[in-house]
Structure 1
């Protein structure tokens, strides 16, 4: 990598870090591009060399996080774990990523007009592969349509994120995972 490319990468990293810090401290609407540029020690025009708007910064960070998550899930999908272990691990991985990045996801939900899931169908496709492998192996019930299992699984994550129960996040997720797998497993 050339010196110029390293410098560009360093500016981008600083710009993203500073922007996200300001969004969290001051709020998205209250943060101006001029403040971001000043805090990142760049000119306002330089901001526009990297992003067209504050929303673009959020999209960039969200896309980067989702790509990292997708890579982890694909690695998990190709592991030697059994389908039930993969399903459990995918839920725990996604739950952990959400918990660690809750502020980012909250900002994105409030300030980005996302048309459908920002990651497309990749996550769902990985999940469907795991479910179908479990049904073929005889680990999972075959009388349940894959679409229903997928919807229920995605609902577990959403219900844990929005839960009002006075149960810690991971514990809440583990309870729901146990109930889900009990209903999915063959007897």
Structure 2
């Protein structure tokens, strides 16, 4: 049986997307604190009550957009995880994918850090589970050293991302990340002598 969305459901999604699009534009251009719910609904040409049918606060909009980005990211990372490329290339592709997502969403992440007090991504253990799977695969195949606990590899990988994000180096973010990735993979694949 074909799953066809009703006209009413399509309209709900359209209203939701309209609220989110106008809110994000206002947050970026006017500022989060300076933007009111009335500003959002006026810009979207919707009633204030409509806003509250979808969200409880401006912060809820940020959380919604962030979750949408992470869901999309998770799908990309799962495709990499299931691919037939080597574990080393999977790690490289994951890091490049995450870096691209970060670069494409700098303003969103800035808003979330400043207004949601976001210290860690809201994706829970999903991202970590994908990494654990790839590292485990690499250790079993002999591509990665077996004498390093997976937890330490994950911690180092996450530290690599944080280090690139907070670097004051004059080289570009992607170049910085690639140098650090080469060092990371070199240590992870170096054979015991």
Give the TM-score of the pair, scaled to structure 1: 0.97
Q: What displacement does 1:115 show? A: 7.4
| Mapped pair 1:141 → 2:145 | yes
Q: What displacement does 1:186 show? A: 3.5
Size of the aligned set, in residue pairs, is 187
Kindly provide the CA deviation profile for residues 28-61 of structure 1, in whole angstroms up to 9, marking residues without a partner as x.
1110000000001100110000100000000000
Alignment of 1:25-104 (within 5 A): 25-104=29-108
Q: Which consecutive residues of structure 2, in runs of 5 or more, have no partner in the other structure?
A: none
Q: What displacement does 1:116 show? A: 4.8
SS in 2 for 1:68: helix
| Mapped pair 1:156 → 2:138 | no
Give the match for residue 122 of structure 1.
Answer: 126
Are the aligned partners of 2:113 and 2:119 in contact in 1 as well (CA < 8 Å)? Answer: no
Distance 2:113 2:123 in 1: 14
Q: Which consecutive residues of structure 1, in runs of 5 or more, have no partner in the other structure?
A: none
Are the aligned partners of 1:138 and 1:186 in contact in 2 as well (CA < 8 Å)? Answer: no
Are the aligned partners of 1:139 and 1:186 in contact in 2 as well (CA < 8 Å)? Answer: no
Q: Which has the higher contact order (CA 8 A, sep 6+)?
A: 1
Kindly provide the CA deviation profile for residues 50-84 of structure 1, in whole angstroms up to 9, marking residues without a partner as x.
10000000000000000110111111101101100
The runs of at least 4 consecutive aligned structure 1 residues that moved more than 2 Å come to 113-117
SS in 2 for 1:165: coil
